[in-house]
Amino acid sequence: MTVIRLPDGTEKVFDFPVTVLDVASTIGPGLARAAVAGKVNGKLVDLNSEIDQDSELTIVTEKDADGLDIIRHSSAHLLAHAVKELFPEAQVTIGPVIEDGFYYDFSYKRPFTPEDLAAIEKRMHEITKRNLTIKRKIWDRSEAINFFKQQGEHYKAQIIESIPGDEDLSLYSQGDFTDLCRGPHVPTTAKLKVFKLMKVAGAYWRGDSNNEMLQRIYGTAWLTKEDQKNYLHRLEEAEKRDHRKIGKQLNLFHIQEEAPGMVFWHPKGWTLWQQIEQYMRQIQNDNEYMEIRTPQVIDKELWIQSGHWDNFRENMFVTDTDERSFAIKPMNCPGHVQVFKQGLKSYRDLPIRLAEFGSCHRNEASGALHGMMRVRAFTQDDAHIFCTEDQIQEEVVKFIHLLKCVYADFGFNDLLVKLSTRPVKRVGSDMQWDKSETALEAALKEAALDWEVQPGEGAFYGPKIEFSLRDCIGRVWQCGTLQLDFSMPERLGAEYVAEDNSRQIPVMLHRAILGSLERFIGILIENYAGAFPLWLAPVQAVVLNISKNQMDYAQKVTKELSSHGFRVDQDLRNEKITYKIREHSLQKLPYQIIVGDAEVSSNQVSVRTRSGHDLGQMTVIELVNRFNDEIALKI
């Protein structure tokens, strides 16, 4: 007798082994039609997987997140099937699921063309109409290797040879196409209805530049055509908002080959940077952080003590001088511990909050660099809080409230939060981990946040919270972090005098809100498409004269607005006013201030918004008040 427990607590009893599909059919025909897989005791399995012992079962449908991933995984195999039918000499390698889609890497004698992609996608649709059953079978290792070698699939043979010998070797077949895969997959190709091939790119075999360059075909797959249409629209919007294009259009920054992964800031871009840095500096001052500055280059011995040399060496820039090895800092935390250690600290001094706009360098792979989103030189709004274990929850709550306020000021109110708990390999006692995880959970509850637990994903030294924000077109960006660290203060000899006069090791909270300022500015550029709110705009307004008769008055208006602290340009060129308005509209300035003879005679200005709305005439002081109100509201 087999007892199957369902998520709602109900049980189904069978006198014989049953498949996942059998159980779904007993619940209802609609569920059986929608099912794509099952989750037995937490493990994803195929619909035709047999259950022969008491188990917990969840039926995975195409509408579930796991179900969509399975559809995308099966679509990758569908892609490989179509390529092999059209290009029999092509070798298939690996084809995983990625965010919003899938890819498959191929070895072929010539580059795939756009026409090839169109033909492959057409053949994929033809295969789905065949309604081929997708079957899983466990193979003998040597049998599988010989099978793929006979088919000329040498990459597949290599993959099998690298799989540990104690693992089952499963192959999936659909029609005459067979591929190596752990699965699970949809039951038939007819389940794959909405997909599109996107592009071809290069990718080295196993990510090693010493190996052959393969061709990676990217695709996307969805449950409905409407979902895919919305996704393609988001891609179009993302293309329009690309921070690299807008950065060039608005003359904010550039990156060049002589300094890969490092930003050259132009005057307007640096003005934007300064608005953000000064805002964060004031926020931190108001919340009792003390700003410090630590060296860029530090002896490798400190990095050995902190553990970074053993675990992060390949990402560090290293230099030698005076027969000593130094590293350009990839992060700020060891330096902050050195500041904490200067002078004996008492429990009465804690918490101590040290903040730094720390300039860091990491030797990221050149292929991973992407504008300001992935760089080698970056500045963090970094801070470390040294506290007692009893102060953890209070400090975390304060940080969460601070982070929410900062994100809201930048226009982000939709947050996604993840709590990463203890990994298998860790330091510290279970009692410490219990206390830390409980404190973080309690802080998240007190802050009224929903969160998702990531079991086992914490750092080896403590649990962490990740904060992601969602932009105006639905993309998610992970920015803020709070990490709880038992390890580094101890490794680097930090201590304080407790109430009983004993020497104790402080808890260290690593925290950042924006993360990398470069990356955050890139996110802002794309979120606002360069049309920044008034408080952030590098140039907040431009004064335009209609003719040379108003030059003196235009200069007077510019000077008066500037005296109130606003960032104002003037355009006194002998050009038609319509030309000037159009040109400055392309620069996405919040306001255009127009002066003609009527404005001069009434000692007023005409005001036009970025959207083209005419606000009519007003005095300069009325305009100053409008600007101040808008800046105060951060809109």
Catalytic residues: 333, 362, 380, 382, 384, 464, 510
Cβ pair 189, 128 in contact under 8 A: yes
**End-to-end alpha-carbon separation of the chain, Å?**
65
Helix (H, G, I), strand (E, B) or coil at 590: coil
CB 67 within 8 A of CB 39: no
Q: Which helix (H) or strand (E) holds 269?
A: helix 267-286
Do residues 449 and 400 make contact, with C-beta atoms less than 8 angstroms apart? Answer: yes
Task: Please report the sign of the dihedral spanned by the C-alpha atoms of residue 571, residue 577, residue 580, residue 585.
Answer: positive
* Chain CA centroid to CA 181, Å: 28
Kindly report the number of other CB atoms within 10 A of residue 88's CB atom.
9
The one-letter amino acid at 227: D
Report CA-CA distances (Å) from 427 to 146, 291, 487, 490, 507.
Answer: 45, 30, 7, 11, 13
Tell me the three state secondary structure of residue 221. strand
Beta bridge partners of 133: 188
CA 59, 63, 66, 69 torsion: positive or negative? positive
How far is Cα 465 from Cα 458, in angstroms, rounded to an integer?
A: 9
Ordered DSSP codes for 102-145:
EEEEEE-SSPPPHHHHHHHHHHHHHHHHTTPBEEEEE--HHHHH
In degrees, rounded to 5, the angle at the alpha carbon of residue 131 between the alpha carbons of residues 127 and 132 is: 80
Amino acid identity for residue 412 in this structure: F
Strands 101-107 and 134-138: unpaired
The CA distance from 133 to 136, in Å, is: 10
Q: Helix (H, G, I), strand (E, B), or coil: what is residue 602? A: helix
- In terms of Cβ atoms closer than 10 Å to its own Cβ (0-12, 13-18, 19+), residue 307 is middle
Q: Can you say how many angstroms the Cα of residue 555 is from the centroid of all Cα atoms in its chain?
A: 45
Contact, 223 vs 194, CB < 8 A? yes
> How buried is residue 380: exposed, middle or buried, by Cβ count under 10 Å (0-12/13-18/19+)?
buried
Angstrom distance (rounded) from CA 585 to CA 511: 39
SS3 189: helix
The reply, when asked if residue 510 is annotated as ligand binding, is yes
Phi, psi of 89 (to 5 degrees): -80, -10
Length of the chain: 635
Rounded Cα gap, residues 272 and 532, in angstroms: 9
Cα–Cα dist 331/176, whole Å: 53
**Distance between CA 426 and CA 422 in Å, rounded?**
7
Buried b (16+ CB within 10 A) or exposed e, 566-583: bbbbbbbeeeebeebbee
Q: Which residues are within 8 A (CB) of 614 and not within 5 positions of it... i.e. 6 or more apart?
A: 606, 607, 608
* Residue 401 annotated as part of some ligand binding site: no
Residue 243 marked ligand-binding: no
Binding residues are 333, 384, 510
Binding residues for Zn(2+) are 333, 384, 510
